[in-house]
Amino acid sequence: MKELETVLEQRFGLVFSDKQLLETAFTHTSYANEHRLL
């Protein structure tokens, strides 16, 4: 997850104050289902 955070911050200039929320967004079952990860 740290790699994704680094890419988003460096490539797109995004800064996340709540790192846990970022992780939840990409590990929530709805995200996984929509992106066929399950």
Domain ranges of the chain: 2-34
Predicted pLDDT at 31: 63
Which residues have CB under 8 Å from 8's CB, separation 6+?
A: 14, 16, 22
Cα 23 from Cα 6, distance rounded (Å): 13
pLDDT in tens, the chain (38 residues): 788 889 999 999 999 999 999 888 877 677 666 776 65
- pLDDT attached to residue 34: 72
Give residue 26's pLDDT: 77
